[in-house]
Chain A
């Protein structure tokens, strides 16, 4: 156990170093996410001018939702892990992992955690600009249980996010180019993950279906807990159960893809 921790701890530190090299990229991305926040502010501000509440929530609550969503993406979202995995398979760099007692999923997951630590800290810098500007609008509930249930939901979201990226990365065993699949998936994820609008604004039937899909648990679920869009503790426990089920399904599916993919892998290069 200790040896394994030590092994993946080193991978984490390695990830930390390599991601710090790209701190400029992440900082630029963080800075430009402020522009996205400006779009949200202008669009939803104009929408709320004609309606005091939308979906039972005020403008402040909606703005808070988008701000927390933004922060959540930097803390748990997969950025380019799919492309990195794809590159390692295509260039034969995974060959070295086939000969060593290293689990490739755990190795990549350790690096993913390190990357999210770097991006999570870097998004705090633009927040220093955004939060004072928006302080009159932000409305965050203060119930302690939201933290107790929201943090595990956030951790499970990170696993789902990484698992989806890992799946797409492994598609390289079958397809030379995965970019099309990744961007297609991004469209679905941004819609059903609640990045475009809070999912509770969808018609009731569609929202109910969305609750059983993995995208709901990628970002919307923890954000809804933290921002007070989900208030029923019973429903949140149920959500955590479904989220855990998706984590297990993805872990099994990833393993299956890895085993089947390796059968096709010809280990060229590396």
Chain B
């Protein structure tokens, strides 16, 4: 465990040095992420210009939900995106051999190699959105609520990580397929919607079968209505289940990997 922490810290240090070398890149990508976050927030602003409620959620409740969803996504972007995105490309080109030769868990080594500071910088913007919405709603969460919110964000990060690893792992089977990571972005769209908006088949698929709604709704509901054991259990269960599925599928795929030009 300590050895993995040391490896991760070494990767983090390398990422910081790399960012300092390519300062323009850092600035550009920070602006790119900020723009995409703004686009999602503007969508909410425009809809609430014409209506007062979305599935019973007021404008600032919705802002808190979207801010929470963006926060989990920014952490994913900061800690894992580049590494997992490159993982898919490396599997296709055969450059994945490099990770197989490293003395450690392959998935850990391949998915934690790079850290993007631009994503992490924007996580503060997402926190600002959540804090602003909470202020507008007059919320005063206790320290325990904040700790629970943070734990739930961490569980959400595990779920997002698992979804992305699952999407990219398909490259082991379909080596000509590109843009598989796009599946993740499609799924992430659902996490910006309130649970109450899902009805019928949509509720079965996106609330119960896929973990895309619980990721943001559980922490947002904790801030809005206090701790709810049912949400917390659903989130924890989904995190464990999907991480297990991602690790299993990744290792099944790894058996098919036939090195260069695969």
> Which A residues lie at the B interface, using CB under 8 A?
21-22, 24-25, 28-29, 32, 35-36, 38-39, 41-51, 54-55, 177, 180-181, 183-184, 187-188, 190-191, 196-197, 201-203
- Does more than half of chain B's interface fall in helix, strand or loop, or is it mixed? helix
* In the complex, chain A residues whose CB is within 8 Å of the CB of B53: 49-50
- Contact (Cβ within 8 A) B50 A46: no
| Bound Cα distance from A177 to B55, whole angstroms | 43
Chain B 199-221 against A: per-residue CB contact (8 Å), 1 yes, 0 no?
00010001000000000000000
B190 within 8 A of A: yes
Give 9 CB contacts A-B under 8 Å: A25-B178, A32-B182, A39-B190, A39-B193, A50-B52, A54-B47, A187-B32, A187-B39, A197-B46
| Bound Cα distance from A214 to B192, whole angstroms | 29
| Bound Cα distance from A43 to B160, whole angstroms | 21
- Contact (Cβ within 8 A) B189 A54: no
- Of B23-31, B98-106, B235-243, B252-260, which stretch is located at the interface? B23-31
Residue of A35, A50, A197, A203 near B51 (CB, 8 A) is A50
- Contact (Cβ within 8 A) A183 B32: yes
B42 within 8 A of A: yes
| Bound Cα distance from A45 to B199, whole angstroms | 11
A201-B46 in contact given A32-B182, A42-B197 (Cβ < 8 Å): yes
| Bound Cα distance from A49 to B52, whole angstroms | 10
| Bound Cα distance from A35 to B198, whole angstroms | 13
| Bound Cα distance from A180 to B36, whole angstroms | 12
Residue of B nearest to A197 (CB): B46
- Contact (Cβ within 8 A) A47 B193: no
A47-B47 in contact given A25-B178, A184-B32, A187-B35 (Cβ < 8 Å): yes
Number of interface residues of B (CB under 8 A): 39
- Contact (Cβ within 8 A) B174 A24: yes
With both chains docked as a complex, state the minimum distance between the C-beta of B195 and any C-beta of chain A, in angstroms: 11
* In the complex, chain A residues whose CB is within 8 Å of the CB of B31: 184
- Contact (Cβ within 8 A) B54 A47: yes
| Bound Cα distance from A38 to B190, whole angstroms | 9
B109 within 8 A of A: no
Residue of B nearest to A190 (CB): B39
* A45, A54, A184: residue with the most chain B Cβ atoms closer than 10 Å: A184
- Contact (Cβ within 8 A) B28 A180: yes
B244 within 8 A of A: no
A201-B49 in contact given A43-B54, A47-B54 (Cβ < 8 Å): yes
